[in-house]
Structure 1
Amino acid sequence: MCGIVGAVSAKDSTPFLLEGLATLEYRGYDSAGLALLASDGFSGLQRARSKGRVAELAAKVKQEGINGRVGIAHTRWATHGVPAERNAHPHISAGLAVVHNGIIENYEALREQLQGLGYAFTSDTDTETIAHLIQACFKGQIGEPAENLFSAVQCAVGHLKGAFALAVISEEEPECVVVAREGSPLMLGVAEDGHYAASDASALLSVTKRMMYLENGDIARLTRDSITLVDRLGQPAQRQVITSSLSPNAVELGDYSHYMQKEIFEQPQALSNTLEMISGAGQLQPGIFGAEAADIFPQVDSVLIIACGTSSYAGLTAKYWIEQVAGIACNVEIASEYRYRQSVANPKQLVVVISQSGETADTLAALHHAKAQGHTYTLAICNVPESAIVRETALRFITRAGPEIGVASTKAFTTQLSALFLLTLLLAKANHRLSEDDEKAYLDELRHLPIAVDKVLALEPSIQAWSNHFANKHHALFLGRGRHYPIALEGALKLKEISYIHAEAYPAGELKHGPLALVDSEMPVVVVAPNDEMLEKLKANMQEVSARGGQLYVFADGGSAVKPSDGVHVLQMPEHYGLLSPVLHVVALQLLSYHVALVKGTDVDKPRNLAKSVTVE
């Protein structure tokens, strides 16, 4: 989603702001802009905006000679108003500039009120409303006249409804940046030469690894030498300064052509890192999910998994594991739907929220809803240890996938699956459903998982050869059964996301109940065919496709006896991996989508209309 960068520095902040925006490009955006207070102290506020990539903005900034020690910058992903320079941030109101992530729900009423006060709007955005609102608070047109920029922002925030992260600068106070957070992530960087702000830690790494994560309701004033911070009640507050574990090298592309390719091939190491705590373990300890896990897990009588997109498919896979191995009922809810329906709370239910970023707005709101319903057994599975979701749950498991830059999730998904399998085993132990022999066998399989994934990656040339068959197609079907149906869903999502081929997934047994009407020689049908208890049923479903002239592309386990023939293309997977087979099959589907996108020439890492971190509803 949108990205924010801000700086109050002893030196020209322009290079940092542009570098920070470039670092945030992976989040998805359609325009970019910055505003600086001129270093000479006389030129006042300078602004540059452009539709398109950060490189275009950088060229414009250089051409116009814009520079300054105090500044804010932004990449915009359109919500209110089309992608256009007039809608790009920062937005200005008489010498005051604002950048904003999130959505202001009451902006229309505020806009009408401000227009009545004489403010003229030049954009279609909700953000311009914030700029004029702060200005009106400054002047006393709304409330008492503000003493300074900080109090004007406090006044304005009190009138906003929705989710937001703000950074504000003004000619009236040229030595400070004021920031505020409610719902959307925002953090501060503490360095020797000044203070910085960003919506993502990666944007701060070029200047500091010392960071302060703001909490909802926080408002802070940054100068070169100080940070003044208050909470939502206006009381002075302190937030811990932590040293980020992120490395600047972790977000570099290296020798790969795309971040998605890099992240697909990083999966063996990501899985090794995530499973490091069991590398020498003879048995699992609940403490890997938090100190309270040993007390909570024996009380759990059901599981509710809440997530969005790819993370929800990880949850659907885990449903099969949890019910089969742990013998506990499991339900999976789409986060954006769960909070808006009447549900029945169960105090013994474990609520599991899954998010790569830990800031997914729908998932975070669903967690708040679950807690308001009375749920106290809450668990976060997340890739970012300092994120909001992690801070707000009783238990947590941090996947160690490392930064994931490509919009289409790969290594975050497989590490989520590994975490969910660990959860399955611990719930089974707590429910007296896991023998010592089975526990040892499952741990051995988990330890071998990175090697098994590496063998799948070796199939890349064969998968690449298939990609040409999809280049001129407009639709595709993905089929799976049992615990591999969610993997078919994930495979279809990947193809949609990065190649723009319409793809749908079905449980293979559902073909005859409607989707079979679509099958012809122009409709490729991708089949996930593990050598499990559903294989013979799946073969019958494949025959239904062949009989209608469909083209089958089958990822088959060894020993499955699925043979290639006319219209049936078979790629032999290296080994059958039992319950963990979904992890191997999804890696093959990731490679297929990646190479199809290459053939089609789409933007693999930044697909149109999509964003990496979805921080608005």
Structure 2
Amino acid sequence: MTRGILTLPEIGGQAEALSAAWEQLKQQQSWVNKYIGNAEYDEVVFIGSGSSYYQAQVMATTFRVWLGRSASALPSSDIFLFRDQSVARGRKVLLVGVSRSGESSEVILALDSVKELANWTTCGITCYETSRLGVMAECLVSPLGKEKSTVMTKSFSSMTYMMQAAIASAAGSAHFSEMESVLALQGDVVVHGKGFAESLVEENAFNKYIYLGMGAYYGLGQEVCLKLKEMSYVWTESYGTLEFRHGPKSVIEPGTLVCLLVSEQARAYELKVAEEMKAYGAFVLLVTTAGGADTSFADAVFEIGGGSLSDEARAVLYLPLLQYLGFYTAMKKGVDPDHPRNLTQVVTI
């Protein structure tokens, strides 16, 4: 069988990719000081397309919380097509391009569109140092984020982690220590997530999939929703956890999987939503630091650990299980997660 031979080891290689990103960041401390650690910017805007846009959301959230400075995340196209609607004029802006390949047309067009503007500075993060992005702007580079499969898995994790580690470096020792702790946990969630996801898919038949998350996990929820859709072509959506109750919950019925990325900051509120969905007939999967009496109602609980860490620092720990969920759903359906229909690694326009 040749289906999935690229994607499976790339999901499994995340711990090594994060470790390599951590070591690479040590060599790029001058980049951190020049860009992320530079307080002269009024606004830091992280941009990307598709999965890279969802990374940008996690990065911007982490930046705001850990550095207490203004940051936002936008689709790349908003900058070169709707810049004045997206970013207030007259601000001193750092534009951070996010692209696995460094070749995404929209990221390149966005950075190129501001190069003559006096108040705009550009930089980026990629997995390919010789890409167009890598050449036109100074970039952080995730050395083991390179992938052969179409969908982003270890590239997403390692780039997100690397940017968060850069933000932590600028923020101070406490957050930097948190990012080091994540390295010690990632290997376990990769190993345990594989078997958990495989059994979950084998033992159940779902016809709808809903992902819920808040804060830094809102972008993650969008990303894992996309992973399932890309790999297996199933009907799936993602929402802010409490926002899901305002109308969208009408789609819940038996056969619906509701996967909640549980934060510690809003845990009690989020679990109330999950209990409500369970009462409507959904199969509830909780991804959380640890199970307990408050999670006993759920159909499945996957523990990632790291309860002493901030919600932002734990972000990449949520990904392996849910990437595997997409992979094994595709395999069960008989489709190839390595080469999804209609998709390419690099999107050009």
Task: Answer yes or no: same fold by TM over 0.5.
Answer: yes
Residue 582 of structure 1 corresponds to 315
Deviates more, 1:398-407 or 1:377-386: 398-407
Look at both structures and tell me which one has the larger radius of gyration over its CA atoms: 1
Return the alpha-carbon distance in structure 2 between the equivalents of residues 493 and 560 of structure 1. 29
Residue 479 of structure 1 corresponds to 212
- Give the 3 Å change call, closer, same or farther, for CA 293–440 of structure 1 in structure 2: same
Residue 40 of structure 2 corresponds to 299
User: 592, 598, 607: which is aligned to 2:325?
Assistant: 592
Are the counterparts in 1 of residues 259 and 286 from structure 2 also a CA contact under 8 Å? Answer: yes
Residue 450 of structure 1 corresponds to 183
- Tell me by how many angstroms 1:559 deviates: 5.4
Are the counterparts in 2 of residues 303 and 349 from structure 1 also a CA contact under 8 Å? Answer: yes
Q: Which amino acid aligns with 2:63?
A: I
Return the alpha-carbon distance in structure 1 between the equivalents of residues 29 and 39 of structure 2. 10
Residue 23 of structure 1 corresponds to none
Are the counterparts in 1 of residues 330 and 337 from structure 2 also a CA contact under 8 Å? Answer: yes
- Tell me by how many angstroms 1:561 deviates: 4.1
User: 512, 515, 522: which is aligned to 2:255?
Assistant: 522
CA deviation map 1:562-595 (0-9, x unaligned) = 4344x62222224334222110001221111111
Return the alpha-carbon distance in structure 2 between the equivalents of residues 523 and 385 of structure 1. 42
Are the counterparts in 2 of residues 267 and 453 from structure 1 also a CA contact under 8 Å? Answer: yes
Partner secondary structure for residue 306 of structure 1: strand
Partner secondary structure for residue 424 of structure 1: helix
Q: Which amino acid aligns with 2:58?
A: T
Give runs of aligned pairs for residues 176-575 of structure 1, distance below 5 A.
258-277=5-24, 286-289=29-32, 292-293=34-35, 297-343=38-84, 344-346=88-90, 348-393=92-137, 395-426=138-169, 429=170, 434=171, 439-459=172-192, 460-468=194-202, 472-530=205-263, 532-558=264-290, 561-565=293-297, 568-575=299-306
- Give the 3 Å change call, closer, same or farther, for CA 549–473 of structure 1 in structure 2: closer
In structure 1, list runs of 5 or more residues that go unmatched: 1-254
Q: Which amino acid aligns with 1:555?
A: V
In structure 2, list runs of 5 or more residues that go unmatched: none
- Tell me by how many angstroms 1:345 deviates: 4.1
Return the alpha-carbon distance in structure 1 between the equivalents of residues 255 and 153 of structure 2. 28
Over the aligned positions, Cα root-mean-square deviation in angstroms equals: 2.4
CA deviation map 1:363-387 (0-9, x unaligned) = 1111111324444421110111111
- The structure richer in helix per residue is 2
- Give the 3 Å change call, closer, same or farther, for CA 258–499 of structure 1 in structure 2: same
CA deviation map 1:167-226 (0-9, x unaligned) = xxxxxxxxxxxxxxxxxxxxxxxxxxxxxxxxxxxxxxxxxxxxxxxxxxxxxxxxxxxx
Return the alpha-carbon distance in structure 1 between the equivalents of residues 179 and 59 of structure 2. 15
- Higher relative CO (CA 8 A, sep ≥ 6), structure 1 or 2? 2
Partner secondary structure for residue 524 of structure 1: strand
- Tell me by how many angstroms 1:537 deviates: 0.8
CA deviation map 1:497-536 (0-9, x unaligned) = 0011111110110122111110011211111124x11100
- Tell me by how many angstroms 1:461 deviates: 1.3
- Tell me by how many angstroms 1:336 deviates: 2.4
Q: Which amino acid aligns with 1:587?
A: P
- Tell me by how many angstroms 1:458 deviates: 2.1
Q: Say whether residues 1:609 and 2:345 are aligned partners.
A: no
Q: Which amino acid aligns with 1:268?
A: A
What's the TM-score once normalised by structure 1's chain length? 0.52
- Tell me by how many angstroms 1:548 deviates: 1.2
Partner secondary structure for residue 552 of structure 1: strand
Are the counterparts in 2 of residues 535 and 560 from structure 1 also a CA contact under 8 Å? Answer: no
Identity of aligned residues (%): 23
Return the alpha-carbon distance in structure 2 between the equivalents of residues 383 and 277 of structure 1. 11
- Give the 3 Å change call, closer, same or farther, for CA 424–345 of structure 1 in structure 2: farther
Deviates more, 1:545-554 or 1:501-510: 545-554
- Tell me by how many angstroms 1:469 deviates: 5.1
- Tell me by how many angstroms 1:286 deviates: 4.2
CA deviation map 1:339-383 (0-9, x unaligned) = 211414445211000001111011111111132444442111011
